[in-house]
Amino acid sequence: MSTLDEMEMPTLTFDPTPEPEEKAQVVPVQEEKAKLDDSMLNDKERQMVESFAKQIDLHNTNGILQYGAGTQKKMADFSEKALENVKTKDLGSVGDMLTNVVTELKSFDEEESKGFLGIFKKASNKVESMKAKYSKAEENVNQIVKALDNHQVQLLKDVAILDKMYDLNLTYFKELSMYILAGKKKLEEVRSTQLAELMSKAQISGLPEDAQAAKDLDSMCNRFEKKLHDLELTRMISIQTAPQIRLVQGNDTMMAEKIQSTLVNTIPLWKSQMVLALGIAHSTEAAQAQSQVSDLTNELLRKNAEKLHMASVETAKESERGIVDMETLQKTNADLIQTLDDVMKIQKEGREKRQAAEAEMVRMENDLKAKLLEIQH
């Protein structure tokens, strides 16, 4: 049984399971024609068809049954391999990975709703936050890129395998065409010669055995014609398989190109834009710091000027001020006068009280003396 790595050569045989070493030489297959003729064959292949047609024996029931069966079996195996190749291919996962790349890049940008550079609108600590988010996004993207790179390698291998499958299918197509051409040549020859002779003989002789011989050969021709029809159906499958292979191959190629574009364009562009973005962020941060320094300097100058004005005014006021304020002297003088008045009043009251006390003591003394004199008498 052939593999996809081996290039099949068209062969004609009565053995449904021919050995690989019995293959014949083949030239590149031309485009198939709607009408079956030998124009698609080279001289060597035409000779092969002529020679093989002469070997066909319609009286060999088993030979007719197995006619072209080897190529039909190879076509069946080939279709199985083609189907397996399609089933094991998961282009959807590649599409998901490409979508994940876009999602990852968008998720980084969506942290700020105003676009790619919106992240720099806030305080300078956003730069560090952006670096952390970029590192996380880059790690995820790099993992996806690694998987995409592996898929691209596999897709390119699949494209090469599909090329071999396409060539193999064309080889089987040519083999089937050669079987059909040889069979039709033999069928036409038998019907125009042997069958015609037997039918003529049966009509002339009128013998049942001659009529049966003609009927048997006609039945064999009909069975062989049906066999050729089966081969034509198989040949049609081969014709339909060719564009199907090209479609799958085209999908693989297109997906590989998308991966290539992502690897060499999208990802590097994103990284270069991130370098620019980080540079802008640093510049913005430096400008903000410089602005803060300028604002602080201006604020210090304004405050110092205010303090200088206040200090100068106070100093001037103090320098023009006397040692003792007039208000203070007036208040002190008034307090002193009031104090003297109060002292004098207190002294006056004290004298009056002392005088009254002296008079009372004299009276008391006189009363005491008088009372003592009364006691003596």
With respect to residue 12, please indicate whether it lies within any of the assigned structural domains. Answer: no
With respect to residue 303, please indicate whether it lies within any of the assigned structural domains. Answer: no
Q: Which of 93, 35, 94 is nearest to 259 (CA)?
A: 94
pLDDT at 120 over 50: no
Query: Same domain, yes or no, for 109 and 254?
Result: yes
Which one of 258, 280, 298 terminates a domain?
298
pLDDT of residue 223: 92
The rounded distance, in Å, linking the Cα atoms of 104 and 263 is 15
Query: Same domain, yes or no, for 263 and 372?
Result: no
Q: What is the domain count for the chain?
A: 2
Q: What is the per-residue pLDDT across 38-84, written as a single tens digit (0 to 9) for each? A: 677 788 888 888 888 888 888 888 888 888 888 878 877 876 776 67
Query: Same domain, yes or no, for 153 and 208?
Result: yes
pLDDT of residue 80: 77
Distance, first Cα to last Cα, the chain: 184
The rounded distance, in Å, linking the Cα atoms of 89 and 307 is 81
pLDDT of residue 375: 81
Average pLDDT, the chain: 78
Highest mean pLDDT among 118-132, 235-249, 305-319: 235-249
Query: Same domain, yes or no, for 269 and 339?
Result: no
Angle CA(183)–CA(184)–CA(188) in degrees, nearest 5? 120
pLDDT confidence of 200, banded at 50, 70, 90? very high
Query: Same domain, yes or no, for 179 and 127?
Result: yes
Q: What percent of the chain has pLDDT over 90?
A: 14
With respect to residue 176, please indicate whether it lies within any of the assigned structural domains. Answer: yes
Query: Same domain, yes or no, for 222 and 369?
Result: no
Whether residue 20 contacts residue 70, with contact meaning beta carbons closer than 8 Å, is answered with no
With respect to residue 309, please indicate whether it lies within any of the assigned structural domains. Answer: no
CA atoms within 13 A on the CB side of 203: 6
Query: Same domain, yes or no, for 29 and 70?
Result: yes
Tokens of 346: 């207190």
Q: How many CB atoms lie within 10 A of CB 156?
A: 15
Which one of 247, 277, 298 terminates a domain?
298
Query: Same domain, yes or no, for 133 and 263?
Result: yes
Distance of alpha carbon 122 from the chain centroid: 29
Distance of alpha carbon 26 from the chain centroid: 46
Query: Same domain, yes or no, for 335 and 289?
Result: no
Region 202-228 average pLDDT: 91
With respect to residue 216, please indicate whether it lies within any of the assigned structural domains. Answer: yes
205 or 24, higher pLDDT: 205
The rounded distance, in Å, linking the Cα atoms of 217 and 192 is 12
Q: What is the per-residue pLDDT across 75-99, written as a single tens digit (0 to 9) for each? A: 778 767 766 765 655 555 656 666 6
pLDDT confidence of 21, banded at 50, 70, 90? very low
The rounded distance, in Å, linking the Cα atoms of 148 and 94 is 7
pLDDT confidence of 265, banded at 50, 70, 90? confident
Query: Same domain, yes or no, for 26 and 161?
Result: yes
Which one of 247, 282, 298 terminates a domain?
298
pLDDT at 33 over 70: no
Query: What letter would DSSP give residue 25?
Result: P
Query: Same domain, yes or no, for 30 and 155?
Result: yes
pLDDT confidence of 199, banded at 50, 70, 90? very high
pLDDT of residue 112: 45
With respect to residue 8, please indicate whether it lies within any of the assigned structural domains. Answer: no
Query: Same domain, yes or no, for 249 and 372?
Result: no
Q: What is the per-residue pLDDT across 135-162, written as a single tens digit (0 to 9) for each? A: 777 777 788 788 888 888 888 888 888 8
Q: Identify the domain containing residue 334 by its residue range.
A: 330-377
With respect to residue 80, please indicate whether it lies within any of the assigned structural domains. Answer: yes
pTM value?
Answer: 0.55
pLDDT of residue 17: 56
With respect to residue 226, please indicate whether it lies within any of the assigned structural domains. Answer: yes
Tell me which amino acid residue 290 is. Answer: Q
The rounded distance, in Å, linking the Cα atoms of 347 and 354 is 10
Q: Which of 331, 370, 42 is nearest to 178 (CA)?
A: 42
Region 203-232 average pLDDT: 91
